[in-house]
Amino acid sequence: MPTATIAGSEVDLNDEGFMTDPTQWNEDIAKELAANIGIELTDDHWGPIRFIREQQAESGVTPTLRKVSKTGGFPTKELFQLFPKKPAKKMSYIAGVPKPVGCV
């Protein structure tokens, strides 16, 4: 399993660059991960990111875009604006959790 230093912390990654241990995550890591994919985090980004982390911690499964939208109350259109093209994948990456099942 590869490791990397992100925001001064050693983290475990899978082959696609997703963190494999959500407990290693912190907001500084999130900021650097976001920058890696061209996103500068604003206050609007943190709501969906925190929601994903909470849901993943509770269920052990990363929520899909639909769940983030329907259960989390974040409009799909807004998620596409905040995390362009592949919002579920990008949110999960930044949140330090595995990408959702079915996400390519």
Annotated active-site positions, please?
A: 103
CA–CA separation, 96 and 76 (whole Å): 21
42-15-51-88 Cα dihedral, nearest 10 degrees: 80
Q: Which residues have C-beta within 8 Å of that of residue 30, sequence separation ≥ 6?
A: 41, 49, 94, 95, 96
